[in-house]
Amino acid sequence: MLATDDIDAWTTLARETLARYEVPLVREVATRLIKPRTPIADDELVDRCMSLLSNPPVLDRRIKDLPDPARKILALIGISRQPVWKVGHLITALATLGHSEGFAPVLALLECGLLFPVLPKGDAPVPAFEPWLGLAGTLHAKVYALPTVAARARGESLGLPTLTGETISTLTPRFADGLDWPLRLSVVWQLIAESPARLTQNNSLFKRDLARLQITDSLTGADDPLPAPDPGILAFFWAQAAGLLKEGDGDWIAAPFPLTWGPTLAPGIADLWSALCAVESWDPLTGYAPSDGGLSPTPTTGILALLLLARGDEPVTNWLDPQQIADWLWEHHPSWPGLISQNAARTRGRDWIEAYLLGVAYPLRLIEAAQLDGWKVRLSDLGRYLLTGAPEPLPAPAFPQTLLVQPNAEVLAYRQGLTPQLIGRLSRFAQWKGVGPACTLELTPTRTYHGLETGLTLAGILQTLNQHGMKPVPPAVADLLRLWANKRDRITAFASATLVEFQTPADLEAAMARGVVSVRVTDRIGLTDDGRDPDFQHLRLIGNRDYEAKPQRCIAVDDDGVTLTIETSQSDLLLEAEIGRVADPVSGDVPSVRRFKLSPTSLRRATTLGMTVSDLDAWFISRTGNLLPASGRLFVLGPTLPAPTVSRHLVIHLPSSEIADGLMQWPETADLLTSRLGPTTVVVEDENLSRLQGVLAELGIVLSESDRGTISRSMLPS
Amino acid sequence: MNIPSTRLPAKLHRRVCLVLTEDAVLAEELLARKKLSTEVAGRLADRALLVRPGRIEQVLEELRKMGHTPQVINKPVERS
């Protein structure tokens, strides 16, 4: 959603749209727009088009040259201040104005570069407009005009009739302060800030969100001649169209208040007026009206009803009966009569027109109203500014001291001092309770915290309350705000920070002294206070690691099985958290070398933390490529196994495993041996030694006692 | 001693999800919360907890359920 006054963003969008036209199409558009005397190279077409679109005198000539219906489309877009329109709505509005050419005027504007298609995301080129329209669907396809271009057409005639009004000097006009809808949108903004909303694929509300938006208590305005039905739902879709809500991961969340919500009323109301023209899922009589695939009559009927009030030569101070507006629209609007309720149809739509004008336009201060045999309406000063080109009304006198902060943390806000800017600011840190003649807010921990999250400071909040307060903020309330704000400093979460790891603690100290980092995380790791990249001029980068990348092997195990050497270039941050659980750092190494050592103590620590041998194996495989080394296994498993035993044995060392095999197999010798220790070693009990020697002697084998007890080689059978 | 003109060798770890607490006791309190501890990849220091990649929102939600009001860094700031 681009802000209407963000000229650069719209220019960039138009350039990107033109760049997606295939060359024959952009050439066709350029020919009609630029009317060049000499051929233009392909790579200059877009630049030349953009250059002309920022040339007011030439633009005026192009607009004047347009066919009547095309010119009226631009005028309607200009007056509405809404750059983006559905093609279906433009065709409906044109039909109401007496033009039944259908899509042709829209196509004419597309072909001469004064209107652009809203293209789906991606790079798909646009060969022609008809295929794009076919894919997007004629009724719901969207087009946009550059705000600067549409503004040039604002003064063009729409051909609306001049309805005869009445001059009634005895009438006392009623007019609103224009704050009701900004306040209601702010209440809904807070609802969504606390809990985002989600829409179905048909852009309608789910039950849960429908229920919480159908609130009325806190939305009752100061002066509602005819309260709008489902004001919360209207406020939601209106806030969506006005950019107060934005889409994120399928949810609609609160967005920053626009800059147009400033210290004076007119810019903010102009913004809301332009957004109103895009609100579809609401009907002035029935309230929430989700689309069933067709087009809602609300945008076109609403804007045309107001434009009928801005009639030609008639003094705009004359009063009109809403029936006059309804009668004309009843006769000329192609779909509105068929879409409103039967009850409303009995009065030829008078109730609908009254509900729209008095429930929406009046609180927005676009019209004044008076009662004489029913309601009479006329444009207000703000309405004339937006719809007839009258000068912007002078801002109302400022009443900066308009808040009363009470000791119970409630705030009374008197409307005469409220501005859209103050409404937006208060919405960030105080909860709206009521938006009636005297608005009420409540300071709460949640709202205070939200305000701090959106960039406000405690000092800023207090400043706002004191600056606009009739009295200083009570000390008890200031203390409460301070307490709530301090709670926020207890935990700091960095969603995506850059951590800087130094080789030594001394390097980290030096970095902090130089201001490279300001937050110490460990004795060697720091970060800046905003978590962003540090100033690299003080650093020599020796590694760069993405936290979200998979952990990789980065440890070499020495032959002793207990010394672990970290390969610094490969290591990741998680290693710092993990390795301390299983090993202890080795001191005395040079800064570029980092070693850790397994020990019975360190591995006992790991098992105390719940790591099993399998866990240790898994960790070692991920970090070294091999299982927990044997030394480490000894430390972990040793205490858990049955106690080993020690005993003294006579061990016979044999020259070969074949001899050992034979001795173990031949019953005469096997019965004398206790066990076999290895391939060439067997055990004999002391009491059997002499008998064994005797048996071996019969074989010609001399078993002599020595330190190692070997058999004489000369006695071996050949 | 490093001369200010000497560049300090350093390694960068980017896109880190990190929670810093006021003190070690608070870190212990957070780790004792089962739902939070499953989202914590490791304890970098007494007061520094590494959060599993992409799980920061879940951690923030759980912290708020616990009644905490964490300061979140690297989120967009409003203009008005």
Provide CB contacts within 8 A for A27, sequence distance 6+: A40, A42, A45
- Give the closest of B10, B53, B74 to A531, CB-based: B74
pLDDT score for B80: 42
Token pair, residue A680, equals 């060439």
**pLDDT tens by residue, B14-56:** 999 999 999 999 999 999 999 998 899 888 899 999 998 889 8
Residue type at position A90: L
pLDDT at A540 over 50: yes
Residue type at position A345: A
- Can you list the alpha helix ranges (DSSP code H) found in A81-229? 87-96, 104-111, 129-136, 147-152, 180-194, 207-213
Beta strands in A62-171 (DSSP E): 84-86, 116-117, 142-144
CB A238 within 8 Å of CB A181: yes
pLDDT at A549 over 50: yes
CB A141 within 8 Å of CB A133: yes
List residues bridging with B19 in a β-sheet: A493, B49
Domain ranges across chain B = 18-65
B70 touches chain A (CB under 8 A): yes
Token pair, residue A160, equals 């609306």
Return the H-helix or E-strand segment holding A525. strand A525-527
For A5, A11, A332, the CA distances from A270, given in Å and listed in that order, are 11, 21, 27
Which of A335-374 are b and which e, b meaning 16 or more Cβ less than 10 Å from the residue's Cβ? bbbebbeeebeebbbbbbbbbbbbbbbbbbbbbbbbeeee
**pLDDT tens by residue, A222-258:** 678 888 999 999 999 999 999 999 998 788 999 999 9
Return the H-helix or E-strand segment holding A539. strand A539-546
Contact B78 A576 (CB under 8 A): no
Q: How confident is the model at residue B4 (pLDDT cuts 50, 70, 90)?
A: low
Q: Which has the higher per-residue pLDDT, A38 or A314?
A: A38
Mean pLDDT of all residues belonging to chain A: 89
Token pair, residue A431, equals 């909860």
Using DSSP's 3-state secondary structure scheme, residue A502 falls into strand
pLDDT score for A715: 36
Q: Which has the higher per-residue pLDDT, A218 or B14?
A: B14
List residues bridging with A469 in a β-sheet: A403
Q: How confident is the model at residue A342 (pLDDT cuts 50, 70, 90)?
A: confident
List the strands of the sheet with A650-653, edge to edge.
A650-653, A681-684, A673-678
Across A315-343, average pLDDT: 88
Return the H-helix or E-strand segment holding A564. strand A563-566
pLDDT score for A104: 93
B15 touches chain A (CB under 8 A): yes
Burial of A534 (0-12, 13-18, 19+ CB in 10 A): buried
Across A537-551, average pLDDT: 86
- Give the closest of A261, A449, A511 to B80, CB-based: A261
pLDDT score for A415: 92
Q: Mind telling me how many Å the CA of A203 is from chain B's nearest CA?
A: 26
Contact B74 A494 (CB under 8 A): yes
Give the separation between CA A566 and CA A557, rounded to whole angstroms: 9
Quick check: ipTM above 0.85? Answer: yes
Q: How confident is the model at residue A580 (pLDDT cuts 50, 70, 90)?
A: confident
Across A42-61, average pLDDT: 93
- Give the closest of B50, B73, B78 to A531, CB-based: B73
For A61, A337, A347, A701, the CA distances from A324, given in Å and listed in that order, are 36, 15, 11, 134
pLDDT score for A480: 93
Which of A444, A547, A609 should one mutate to test binding to chain B, selecting the residue with the greatest count of B CBs within 10 A?
A: A547
pLDDT at B3 over 60: no
A250: left (phi over 0), alpha (psi -120 to 50) or beta: left
Burial of B14 (0-12, 13-18, 19+ CB in 10 A): middle
pLDDT score for A183: 96
pLDDT score for A574: 82
SS (H, E, C) A235-267: HHHHHHHCCCEEEECCEEEECCCCCCCCCCHHH
Q: How confident is the model at residue B78 (pLDDT cuts 50, 70, 90)?
A: very low
> Which region among A340-354, A360-374, A410-424 has the lowest average model confidence (pLDDT)?
A340-354
Burial of B65 (0-12, 13-18, 19+ CB in 10 A): exposed
Give the separation between CA A491 and CA B26, rounded to whole angstroms: 9
pLDDT score for A684: 93
